[in-house]
Structure 1
Amino acid sequence: MDASLRQLAAYVAVARAAGFTAAAAQMRVSQSTLSRAVSDLERVLGVQLLERDTRNVQLTAAGQETLRVAEQIVEAHRSGMKQLRRYLLGESGIVAMATLPSVAAVLLPRMISTFRGRRPDVSVRIMDGLEQAVLGKVLSGDADFAVTTVGAASDRLEHRPLIRDRFRAVLPESHPLADREEVTWQDLAAEPFLAVGPESSVRRLTDAAFEQAGAVAPPAAEAGNVATVGGLVAAGLGVSAMPALVLPLLGPGHVVHRELVAPVVERRLDIVVQARRALPPAATAFLDLLQEARAEGREVPAGAAWITH
């Protein structure tokens, strides 16, 4: 039985309207077109579905059962097409993003709240981790996009500059350097320096900053988690340097932040997508929101700024 959706929809319309005239008006087709579709369906099924007279139609027993099944099929098709349309408009589905913990916890929550307010039926999945793991999620297709630091160049990835944040000195509250408005990288190098692990993009940037300042600062201690580093600083075991968006993750403790100069070091965060890959509609809608926030200059956490060129 190879009945088409068009034939089934025509039959449902005629059966429910109990006539071809009203059904044709509802479907905005000619009566002859509708009659032909029903006749074709009867031929495909090999049964008579309607008993016709000059004024109306009556369903046969086979017609009653066919109507029941046809309505299910037509309604399932309508429902499925409605769901598909909402997906294609970015109104349903999942946004899978990979990002650094500081971006996930500090920058994105307000964006996600706005996005969910506009598109409540879209789920957001955040995969936070270090730079290489985050980029790996994009390359594997597990994440639609990433918001992360700029690592080694890859022709498999496309970068779109988004936001930057500035490194600040992180000091124990009672440290002598805490009395200054500005601290230099040379100042930090003269103190026990507490670093994040070598796999972190923050570590890569601090090592480069010390080199640029002509300073040598072998870590007195290092930890994989920035909150752990914050705890070590609060305990008076040394000093550190962190980008502005990372500072809220340091946790409670007696630490202060000061401007860090000579050189001024900024961390650039990009939207990263897989090159030559079409994004799901919901992911495109989320990236549109990020670009909208950047274009409008919406408020960002202290120490961060949108990249506008």
Structure 2
Amino acid sequence: MSRINFDLQQLQAFVAVADKGSFRAAAEHIHLSAPALGRRIERLEELLGARLFQRSTRKVQLTRVGQAFLERARGALDDLEAAVLGIHEISAHHTGRVTVACLPTAAVTLMPQAILSFCQAMPRVHIRVIDEGMNEVAASVVSGEADFALGFAGMLDSGLAFEPLWKDPYVLAVRRDSPLARKRRVVLDDLAQVRWLTVARTSRNRQVLDDYFAAAGKSPQAWLEAGHVATLLAMVDAGLGVAMVPATALATDHPSIRSVPLAGLDLHRQIGLLMLEGRRLTPVARRFYDHIKASFAQLGAARPARGRR
């Protein structure tokens, strides 16, 4: 064992290459030149007496030894950070970085207050929010770009663990000056002469809605599509039509749009936290994960009622 003398930076370099799948991307991520990164990996392989990566001109892949060593390396780095910082004693003086991926609707309506309360306790932690559609949210967690994500279940990528938080019902978004806004609920027949707006087919929200209406045998024909729910609501606000959106999109009182339940519609998306199966979050990322979980836990009972305004 005398020859095993790991350098912390060698372990960090190894994990970075494993996460990014590229020496160049890993070097940029840890702010190191590619040659210097390569030397750290070579030195680590010499110490282990085994190759950790299979290299080609197109891609870099872990060897069997590399796969077995990866989780041990992650654990060693996490344990070291926890030992130095004290995972139960993280204070306002602690610094760190957390990247969370989040659906745009939640990023606008829910995440700001959660981040504010977290930063009041830990003001020196830097937070990056990746506010994209569900496809991009899932991909950012799989690639390691995001520590974890707030998203919804259904058609999840393999290797992702999902912790449910609340059910987010779909509601009909209408302008407050529309006759439909005076109804307690509407039926599809009420929408026969109304222009129907929807998100694009690439959106997972659209896939949820299409699957539901196809099974029900009633598929409203949209005349306008938009890439994001926020854009869709702007179109509703402009008087271009009505749209089915998650209640989260109208979490705060909107001055000109009201959400109305669609009669007989039992449709919702399950919102929760996503992370890679088996991945150990850094202490500060775990602290933020638990904070998000606690902040949104009460929405399980409150969200359906708040969606009907």
* Cα distance in 2 for residues equivalent to 1:267 and 1:301: 15
Aligned to 1:158: 161
Aligned to 2:41: none
Higher gyration radius (CA): 1
1:43-122 paired onto structure 2 within 5 Å: 85-86=84-85, 90=90, 91-122=94-125
Please, which of 235, 244, 249 is the counterpart of residue 232 of structure 1? 235
Matched, 1:246 2:249: yes
Is the contact between residue 167 and residue 303 of structure 2 (CA under 8 Å) also seen in structure 1?
no
Is the contact between residue 165 and residue 303 of structure 1 (CA under 8 Å) also seen in structure 2?
yes
Cα distance change on mapping 1:287 and 1:82 into 2, 3 Å: closer
1:188-267 paired onto structure 2 within 5 Å: 188=191, 191-247=194-250, 254-267=256-269
* Cα distance in 1 for residues equivalent to 2:253 and 2:185: 20
Per mean C-alpha deviation after superposition, the further-off stretch among 112-121 and 92-101 is 112-121
Is the contact between residue 171 and residue 238 of structure 1 (CA under 8 Å) also seen in structure 2?
yes
Is the contact between residue 236 and residue 243 of structure 2 (CA under 8 Å) also seen in structure 1?
yes
- TM-score relative to the length of structure 1: 0.63
Identity, % of aligned positions: 30
* Cα distance in 2 for residues equivalent to 1:225 and 1:126: 17
Is the contact between residue 166 and residue 299 of structure 2 (CA under 8 Å) also seen in structure 1?
no
* Cα distance in 2 for residues equivalent to 1:94 and 1:300: 32
Is the contact between residue 186 and residue 213 of structure 1 (CA under 8 Å) also seen in structure 2?
no
Cα offset, 1:144, TM superposition:
0.3
Aligned to 1:269: 271
* Cα distance in 2 for residues equivalent to 1:299 and 1:159: 16
Gaps of 5+ in 1: 1-80
* Cα distance in 1 for residues equivalent to 2:116 and 2:131: 18
Is the contact between residue 102 and residue 249 of structure 1 (CA under 8 Å) also seen in structure 2?
no
* Cα distance in 2 for residues equivalent to 1:153 and 1:255: 31
Cα offset, 1:278, TM superposition:
1.0
Cα offset, 1:198, TM superposition:
1.4
Cα distance change on mapping 1:298 and 1:197 into 2, 3 Å: closer
Is the contact between residue 106 and residue 301 of structure 1 (CA under 8 Å) also seen in structure 2?
no
Matched, 1:169 2:172: yes
- TM-score relative to the length of structure 2: 0.63
Cα distance change on mapping 1:162 and 1:185 into 2, 3 Å: farther
Is the contact between residue 95 and residue 122 of structure 1 (CA under 8 Å) also seen in structure 2?
yes
Is the contact between residue 186 and residue 215 of structure 1 (CA under 8 Å) also seen in structure 2?
no
> How many residues get paired?
223
Cα offset, 1:221, TM superposition:
0.7
Cα offset, 1:92, TM superposition:
2.5
User: Match of 2:266, SS?
Assistant: coil
Cα offset, 1:235, TM superposition:
3.3
User: Match of 1:261, SS?
Assistant: coil
